[in-house]
Amino acid sequence: MSKNASIDEFRGNIPTKFSLGIFRGDFRQTSDPRNFLGNLVPRNSVGNFRGISEERRNSEELFPRTCFVVHEQMFELHKEEKEKGSEDFVDLLLRLEREETVVGHENLTRNHIKAILMNVLLAGIDTSSITMTWAMAELARNPRAMKKVQSEIRNQMGKRSVISLDDIDQLKYLKMVIKETWRLHPPAPLLVPKEVISEFEVNGYMIQPKTLLHVKVWAIGRDPGTWKDPEMFLPERFIGSNIDTKGQNFELLPFGGGRRICPAMYMGTTMVECGLANMLYNFDWELPEDMMVEDLDMEEAPGLTVSKINELLLVPVEYLDH
């Protein structure tokens, strides 16, 4: 039996290594959502509400320097490891740059690559790792669901050691677990603001042009008018349901919807599915000694993305029957 493992660190390294070839700690400061406050909170609108102004000033000074260092380190690392023969997302972009690939009306440049990587870092990786932590927390609180999803994965895998995307497609209950996690714990509780183009009415209220609208998906996922027993973690609620997360069902909008739907939706979904499948296949997960299910803390940290306020610590026990 292993010592306690911080799920926050374990799950965070899966998607970053998978897509960018680096570990999460290498870019933690760069991908902090506070660096993007300017896109969500107008400069002159909040005063010093809960320290937002100070956070914004700090991020505006530090963010460009941090980005430069992290990007250059990432590019140098991939240059050194290019001879190994494998190609990840960053290698692909760098190859397209060398080949002078045309994107839109101009060649792909290093600045384009940096912008793409920042979108990936914020929109795809940190939110995916947050989802994995909440999923493991909910499964730890619900041993029945934990046993059911592990049985599904292990029955699908048999004695094989590597989980493929074809295997993931067959894991129906795992997909329900992830949907239920997104319902209760959307990583971004407020979608990116939308600006009203023309005047319209909602329930007797006139919404004027230029108004910024915020959609609170956290509240939508817990609406008792839409969901039965909304505070319960119950993946089975999606059995026979056509609700998906592609922006067509307004009951469940972890990625938003419309033309501005999250560009990392498919990548993020794949990383969550593969990450959780591997964690649940290769290990049994137990609570630390002297800890009961009722003791699990599910308090949310405030922020633009909502993670657990305290680390999730579980005991991994290696699964040897494969």
**Per the annotation, where are the binding residues?**
262
Rounded to whole angstroms, the Cα distance separating 29 from 24 reads 10
User: Is 318 in contact with 2 (CB distance < 8 Å)?
Assistant: yes
Rounded to whole angstroms, the Cα distance separating 2 from 309 reads 24
Position of tokens 């909008």?
253
User: Is 121 in contact with 31 (CB distance < 8 Å)?
Assistant: yes
| DSSP-H helix ranges across the chain | 7-20, 37-40, 52-80, 89-98, 110-119, 127-141, 143-157, 165-169, 172-184, 217-221, 265-282
Rounded to whole angstroms, the Cα distance separating 242 from 253 reads 14
Rounded to whole angstroms, the Cα distance separating 199 from 206 reads 7
**Which residue ranges make up the annotated binding site for heme?**
262
| Of 8, 1, 45, residue with least CA distance to 25 | 8
> Radius of gyration (Cα) for the chain, nearest Å?
21
